[in-house]
Amino acid sequence: MSSRVTVLIAVLALALPSHASAQTAADRGAELFIRKGCLGCHGASGRGGVGPVLAHTPLPFDSLLHQLRHPRGIMPPFPAEVVSDDEARAIHDYLRNAPPPPARLRSDVPHGSLAAESCIPCHTRLNPTIVRQFESSAMGRAGMQNPRVNYPQRQIGCANCHGLDHDKIMADRGRVPESMCGACHPAIYQEHVLDAGHSYGPGPGTLGTNWERNIGVPHYRQMPRKVMEMGCDACHAQAGASDDKYWSADQHRYVDTSSLPYRNGCIACHTRHSFSLEEARKPEACHTCHMGPDHPNYEAYESSKHGSIYSARGRSWDWTVPMPQASYETPTCAYCHMLYVDSTGTRHTSHNMTRKIIWGMGVQPAVGQLADITVSPENQAKRNEMIKVCITCHSEDKARGYLESADAHKLAGDALVIEARSILSGLYKDGVIKPSHEQMSAGLLRGPAFSAVELPGAIAQHSPASLYYDVSPIEREYFDMFFFSALKSYKGAFHMSPDYAWWYGYADVLGHLARIRDDAKRLRSERDVRRQTLFMIFTGPLMVLAVIGAVAWVRRRRVARGVGAV
Amino acid sequence: MSSRVTVLIAVLALALPSHASAQTAADRGAELFIRKGCLGCHGASGRGGVGPVLAHTPLPFDSLLHQLRHPRGIMPPFPAEVVSDDEARAIHDYLRNAPPPPARLRSDVPHGSLAAESCIPCHTRLNPTIVRQFESSAMGRAGMQNPRVNYPQRQIGCANCHGLDHDKIMADRGRVPESMCGACHPAIYQEHVLDAGHSYGPGPGTLGTNWERNIGVPHYRQMPRKVMEMGCDACHAQAGASDDKYWSADQHRYVDTSSLPYRNGCIACHTRHSFSLEEARKPEACHTCHMGPDHPNYEAYESSKHGSIYSARGRSWDWTVPMPQASYETPTCAYCHMLYVDSTGTRHTSHNMTRKIIWGMGVQPAVGQLADITVSPENQAKRNEMIKVCITCHSEDKARGYLESADAHKLAGDALVIEARSILSGLYKDGVIKPSHEQMSAGLLRGPAFSAVELPGAIAQHSPASLYYDVSPIEREYFDMFFFSALKSYKGAFHMSPDYAWWYGYADVLGHLARIRDDAKRLRSERDVRRQTLFMIFTGPLMVLAVIGAVAWVRRRRVARGVGAV
Amino acid sequence: MSSRVTVLIAVLALALPSHASAQTAADRGAELFIRKGCLGCHGASGRGGVGPVLAHTPLPFDSLLHQLRHPRGIMPPFPAEVVSDDEARAIHDYLRNAPPPPARLRSDVPHGSLAAESCIPCHTRLNPTIVRQFESSAMGRAGMQNPRVNYPQRQIGCANCHGLDHDKIMADRGRVPESMCGACHPAIYQEHVLDAGHSYGPGPGTLGTNWERNIGVPHYRQMPRKVMEMGCDACHAQAGASDDKYWSADQHRYVDTSSLPYRNGCIACHTRHSFSLEEARKPEACHTCHMGPDHPNYEAYESSKHGSIYSARGRSWDWTVPMPQASYETPTCAYCHMLYVDSTGTRHTSHNMTRKIIWGMGVQPAVGQLADITVSPENQAKRNEMIKVCITCHSEDKARGYLESADAHKLAGDALVIEARSILSGLYKDGVIKPSHEQMSAGLLRGPAFSAVELPGAIAQHSPASLYYDVSPIEREYFDMFFFSALKSYKGAFHMSPDYAWWYGYADVLGHLARIRDDAKRLRSERDVRRQTLFMIFTGPLMVLAVIGAVAWVRRRRVARGVGAV
């Protein structure tokens, strides 16, 4: 073996612990625990999550098997074709011997009701940053910093929000629900939480909150919950997610399908324990959630002229001034979405960020709609509210003209999505592809339990939450087109980023459409070739026999007619 | 229907206004207006754009139909196979009843010639930010801030640039052409505008300005103009775009194919009404236009060590000092592209940003060229100008060595593009793919009117502006390779970003090449299988008949020879 | 020809120098020099690189040909099937007449040993920025700024690091190896360089340094070196790369396969000649190298809540304070990876940045491993060290719970990579695809010399360095899946970026898996159709003959039996 081969293997071996060579029975159980998705709810090595800790479990095998086949609670059933009895036994063997979750580094935790003065000294040693942050915050400093707050005490401390029962605080993991913030800030709580003002809403019925959309959609339930905890849940756990209806006061935990230990609300933008207004006022506060392929609001803003001016000059603005009184050189996220200007030119703000939103997530064409929704009176009223903000820096003609061009840009992209959608419908109708072959989601289990095809009109095939799991490439192409490129295109236009509107957006929609058109042709052509080939394979010999038969019959007739006797 | 289904449908219904269920005749016209691309020029719901307002049109149907078939002005013709008479009628019905464009929020606009003192009080109420910005700008402050400017007044006001005729200002939408700026800044105007110094030029003939490249290229004309307004036009409307030759003083509007209400020039970098030098000197000034998949100059710079140092330390530099006297820790965009160092080490700047550019947009291999263009004397002179700037921080050996390695890197990528190009040529030649099947651009109309195949040598197939519309996937793969990956690779190398040079660049070029090689094989193989199958289908029965015929003929001969009579 | 055609051609002509029309013999040699990859080592137009200068070469043709076929040194052999004799002659003709490398702008370079006082005056004129930077640095200012450094002089100057022999400085291109820094900073040198603390190590044997991984891996050697210089080498030239073992003191150059003129080490983060601590402490210091599709650590951090807080508020922190004493509102890269907290809460730092790293580059599933490696005692110890840092701002339960969820997220993604890997193995096994058809790398030469299939178990097919060159699309899809999407997913989770964990990560892994599943089916189906078609083509006539033969035989038997005589 040459030296360079040795080097490469050694490189690879770096990442490869020594026990990886021969697979033992324990290794098999460990691997199955991962491969079958158990860790989605029960954590790596069974250390727990939305499901209970399984590492070092005293549970007998029969109990585990029964729970697997006929689960209690929110656990989905795992039939034998998904996890066989034998596999279940390997998993059980592994779990019994899996090391228990590691002990806390610090176990000398005080118990019972503590004095309010005892928080700071102890936590200054344990978690110095949060103590320092709180002490420098508007809430932690002496005197009432915010004249709009009506609270009997002139300075608040840890216990005002967390209480004094340290056992409960520990059990709750320090959770402070957003209703606690709402006690002192009722108007904001009303605008932001009760009016679903940090979601696109209020929607019909129980909808309109990001959290409901997250945990309520069938496909989410099948996803590995630990993955959702890292991904979707982190942002969707906004207004409403910490409501009592999801929280069990007895169990000190949330009891829905997410394993998030606690949830955002106010702290998504006003991060603890500084609760900095400067931070919440800056565009960066919106970055973590309002970014990415499906809603690159932040990237589009940042790369727009507006965002470039903010980056170049924003640091010299006075961020301590409330927005209605502030002088910005260029708008921030909050400036456009939270500011209102009345007819006298007086500005005020609202924590309802959706009152000027017309197109929402922009997924109209995905449900088959191709229409200018801006014409309705309520949308014209929303548009006017936005234009009043634009006018603080631009002429009305410029502002209105730009936004109306963005509307047209949006609809021009929608027309292409609709064309792609009808190509897909044709393929479904003609049986060239089956709607979402094999299984619908990236979840654990196959089969119809959560399958979207049971939905009326198979609408969910075209919903954001269903089309990127186990689908044919042309369906994935369509998903990438309508959910990534088309949304980039439209978000780019409305946030004034030419590159998002065009290259990352509309031009990419065109690229996907070209591939979808060609793929559809290829799929039909392949089917034809397959059919022709099969036709030949079956009919070839039949044709030969038919011709032979016909010749024989003709010959026999000629013989019968005395022709062939010569 | 299960509750989770209800939830999903309700989620989808959020984006689906109630009128979307049954399509009325008006809805059909509204949809056709979008789908046929009318809104590209006439705006969503016919509210106008580069084409006139059509909402609530009093135009009789016959006039609309005549304009559709035999248009006046720059409108392209729509033949009956694109929009049928029946469809035209549905669109007409819809437009007649479409609500007229919304009224301005503010209609009490003063008329006639106003006093210069009247601007500020009124606009402070209407558009407070721009007034404040101007008053704090070098132009708006008392005294002549810029000693290089020779102007009779010691402080200028709104009217010096906008004039006093408010009707004209309103009709012009406040447009100030760049020649107005040039009146006080003639040297900059010469360098930047007249010498086409903010484009890659001066080019041959009328070329060399971004704007000409934009509106002059055939494929642009077919694109929906509202999309172009959001995308390409926004950046390409630089030097030259506000020239008199595009502007109609009578109509108070631009009369070319763009619906941009006004155009950049100086304000692209010196944004109104601050005209901040700090902003124009910072890299963020270049961000909005010099970014994205085809020219990620900003992203490459930002992620380079140069850019990282700027991000980490740039805010403590003194940005009020003109660049020749300033002390930067690391170069900015302007530092490399606008600074010149003479033999005594004295620095000066120029608003001609293209005088040191050698490779331009780097699309040489797309037109078939594989050559080291740096060897020419004029390019060696340009290189030396750049090296003199590098030397302010680096040794000459380091600077020259790096740039020459970047040249080699560029050419190594070009060689791969040329290989892919010849694979495509082979497929065209052998008829495996047709150049750009169906239609050439993403524009409105099919057919030869703007088709690029009429171009000599079909060169436009490989031009940036043509290859991403309605093409086969292998052509799109090629487009993504040469226009995105290869340009990222080269821009990454010259802006010192290893990841753009390699992963986003060269490695991605390799990925595209692998797919192109394999796709070409697959296309040829598929064609062969198709041919073989068709051959069998047609020749199978013929072969059978031929054999039968031969047997019969043999038999007959044997009979004739008396063999068969027995 | 219409005017718009003229415009387009003129646009294209911009990039097309006039000599590009008819290819002369010299042009052919010039093109071959690029196309055959000579410029990878010898530079564009033969101006030199890791290989010697070839422009204007006096080398006779026979010598060049001999070196091509039987090279001395590290040059790989070019057999006649790669470069024919005729092609070699064209290249030789071209090189003989290629212009020699351009002369230095400044040729009046002083010689011999100079006085220490002479550096500053001369270089202030030549390279003003570096002189100013050094004079304002901690090393350049009077007095010993850093009390931890033990050096006899109270202020150091250029010569303390560079020496006084100007000829040697010029020949070395000003190179200062990291061991020079280590003379004053021995603890840092030990942690960072000797302990391989800026790589994932220390690894087995000579491994554990970024540089060894770069130049030691077989596939790297085949890559065009100039491309590597712009890409991989730039970052991998960290700790160890400037070691004496790569450096020839006689030749004043590095003598391995990289053409980097000098290499990073300390200056990668402490860039010369400011050696700014503020810069090194900020996340931007890590940006240039720790970014991109395979390890978007910076992008994930920047878009996380941690990074957003840094962006919004970091500029008001006091960056002059050493990290153990500093008050940050949110962690930086260095805070998590370089800080240690002991049991008393006392903080200290280390330049060994890998002591808390568990998953490393996360490529475990690529070598077939699906296991929770966090359970080992040494990894639990590493985890605890990280948690102690988290606790400075968070509760232990929150910190540990988050990291353990990220472990599960990582493993859930790994399970999908393993599934894709087994699909590929099946295709290899069934002969549907050949491992890496044609050639293995993007290097110069085909054939087995560096082919990865010679590696035991063909492991290298799945190694990062081999799978993106000349492979089938399904292999490339797999590469993109495990090396880009899966790493984004895991890096996103551990750096707290929901969008990287989900959309850019896990959801994209799912997209690739969907394409791999479908591609595998298509490849098998295509093979079947191809086989069936070929079967028909060969068996069709045979079947006909067989049937005819059978009929004839039956007839003959009937005739023999006297049946057919009538």
Question: What is the band of A376 on the pLDDT scale with cuts at 50, 70, 90?
Answer: very high
Give residues 415 to 444 of C whose Cβ lies within 8 Å of A. Answer: 415, 418
Between A237 and A174, the more confident residue is: A174
- Sort out which chain B residues have CB atoms less than 8 A from A548's CB and list them: 548
Cα dist from A52 to A228, A259, C159, whole Å: 17, 11, 66
Please report, as a single letter, which amino acid is at residue B435. P
Nearest residue, CB atoms, B309 vs list C271, C291, C537: C271
Phi/psi for B166 (5° steps) reads -65, -30
pLDDT tens by residue, A291-342: 999 999 999 999 999 999 999 999 999 999 999 999 999 999 999 999 999 9
**Quick one: which H or E segment has residue A253?**
strand A253-254
Q: Do B358 and B490 meet the contact criterion of CB atoms below 8 Å apart?
A: no
Whether C407 sits inside 8 A of A234 (CB atoms) is no
pLDDT reading at B546 higher than 90: no
How would you classify the pairing of strands C247-248 and C253-254? antiparallel
- 3-state SS string for B475-544: HHHHHHHHHHHHHHHHHHHHCCCHHHHHHHHHHHHHHHHHHHHHHHHHHHHHHHHHHHHHHHHHHHHHHH
Rg value, chain A, Cα: 31
Most confident by average pLDDT, A476-490, B149-163, B188-202: A476-490
Contact criterion met (CB below 8 Å) for C323 and C347 = yes
Considering A469-483, B113-127, C197-211, the range whose residues carry the highest mean pLDDT is: B113-127
Give how far the C-alpha of residue A152 lies from the chain's centroid of Cα atoms, to the nearest Å: 41
Q: Among A363, A378, A382, A409, pick the best mutation site for testing chain B contact (most B Cβ within 10 A).
A: A409
Q: Return the exposure string of C61-91: e unless at least 16 CB atoms fall within 10 Å of the residue's CB, then b.
A: eeebbeebeeeeeebeebeeebbeeebbbbb
- A456 CB near a chain B CB, below 8 Å? yes
Closest CA to B474 of B445, B439, B515, B503: B515
The Cα C534–Cα A536 span in angstroms is 12
Residue C255 confidence (pLDDT)? 87
Put simply, the chain C residues between 173 and 232 with a CB less than 8 A from any chain A CB are 200-201, 203-205, 207-208, 212-213, 216-218, 221
pLDDT of B474 reads: 86
Q: For position C170, what pLDDT does the model report?
A: 95
Instruction: Determine the Cα–Cα distance for residues B57 and B97; give it in Å rounded to an integer.
Output: 8
Q: Please give chain C's pLDDT, 566 residues, in tens.
A: 333 333 333 333 333 333 344 567 778 999 999 999 899 999 999 999 999 999 999 999 999 999 999 988 878 788 888 899 999 999 999 999 999 999 999 888 999 999 999 999 999 999 999 999 999 999 999 887 788 887 777 788 999 999 999 999 999 999 999 899 999 999 999 999 888 888 765 544 444 567 876 776 666 666 788 998 999 888 888 877 888 888 999 999 998 888 888 887 899 999 999 999 999 999 999 999 999 999 999 999 999 999 999 999 999 999 999 999 999 999 999 999 999 999 888 999 999 998 899 998 888 887 788 999 999 999 999 999 999 999 999 999 999 999 999 999 999 999 999 998 888 888 888 888 876 544 444 433 433 333 222 333 333 333 444 556 667 888 888 889 988 999 999 999 999 999 999 999 999 998 899 889 889 998 998 888 888 877 777 777 777 777 777 777 777 877 777 654 44
Between B25 and C326, residue with greater pLDDT: C326
Assess A14–C contact: CB distance below 8 Å, yes or no. yes
Whole-number Å distance between alpha carbons of C88 and A423: 53
For residue A560, the model assigns a pLDDT of 75
CB proximity under 8 Å: A 98-137 to B: none
Position A566 confidence tier, pLDDT thresholds 50, 70, 90:
very low
- pLDDT band for B217, please (50, 70, 90 cuts): low
Residues of chain A positioned with their CB less than 8 A from the CB of B297: none
pLDDT band per the 50, 70, 90 thresholds, residue B317: very high
CB B47 within 8 A of CB B55: yes
Q: What is the pLDDT of residue C226?
A: 92
Report chain C residues whose CB lies below 8 A from the CB of B514.
Answer: 468-473, 476
pLDDT of residue B439: 43
Q: Which residues contact C457 (CB under 8 A, 6 or more apart)?
A: none
> Of B218, B371, B384, which has the smallest distance from its Cβ to C31's Cβ?
B371
A104 to C502: CB separation less than 8 angstroms, yes or no: no
Q: B91 and B33 in contact (C-beta within 8 Å)?
A: yes
Q: Give the count of Cβ contacts less than 8 A between chain A and C.
A: 285
- Tokens found for residue A446: 């196959």
Comparing CB atoms, the residue among A313, A393, A400 nearest residue B127 is: A393
pLDDT tens profile A334-368: 999 999 999 888 999 999 998 899 998 888 887 78
Confidence of residue B459 (pLDDT cuts 50, 70, 90): very low
Q: Which residues of C touch B309 (CB under 8 A)?
A: 271, 279, 284
In angstroms, rounded to a whole number, what is the distance separating the alpha carbons of residues B407 and B549?
A: 70
So what's the pLDDT on residue C133?
Answer: 96
Q: State the complex-level ipTM.
A: 0.90
Nearest to C126 among B391, B507, B543 (CB): B391
Q: State which amino acid sits at residue B276.
A: S
d(CA C387, CA C404): 11
- The 3 state secondary structure assigned to B84-124 is CHHHHHHHHHHHHHCCCCCCCCCCCCCCCECCHHHHHHHHH
Residue of chain C minimizing CA distance to B536: C537
Q: State mean pLDDT over B278-289.
A: 97
Average per-residue pLDDT for chain A: 84
**B363 neighbors C15 (Cβ within 8 angstroms):** yes
Q: Kindly determine whether residue A414 and residue B34, on different chains, have CB atoms separated by under 8 Å.
A: yes
Q: How far apart are CA C429 and CA C441, in angstroms?
A: 22
CB spacing of C543 vs A548 below 8 angstroms: no
- Name subunits touching C (3+ CB pairs < 8 A): A, B
* CB within 8 Å: C392 and A278: no
Question: Shortest CA distance to A262 belongs to which of A351, A162, A134, A354?
Answer: A162
Give the number of residues written for chain C: 566
pLDDT single digits (tens) A411-450: 999 999 999 888 888 888 888 887 654 444 443 333 333 3
Among A349, A493, A322, A311, which residue's Cα sits nearest to residue A407?
A493
For residues B288-304, give the mean pLDDT. 96
Q: What is the pLDDT of residue B35?
A: 92
- Cα A549 to chain centroid distance, Å, stands at 66
Instruction: Give A210 to chain C, closest Cα distance, Å.
Output: 15
Contact A129 C328 (CB under 8 A): yes
* B541 vs A contacts (CB less than 8 Å): 543, 547
Rg (alpha carbons) of chain B, rounded to whole number: 31
To probe the interface with A, which of C405, C423, C450, C462 has the most A CB atoms within 10 Å? C405
A-interface mutation test, from B230, B318, B466, most A Cβ less than 10 A away? B230
Residues of B with Cβ-Cβ distance to A493 under 8 angstroms? 230
| Identity of the residue in C8, C126, C288 whose CB atom sits nearest the CB atom of B218 | C8
How far is residue C311's CA from residue B402's CA, in Å, rounded to a whole number?
Answer: 32
Write down the pLDDT at residue B556.
81
Task: Write the single-letter amino acid at A195.
Answer: D
Contact A321, A517 (CB under 8 A): no
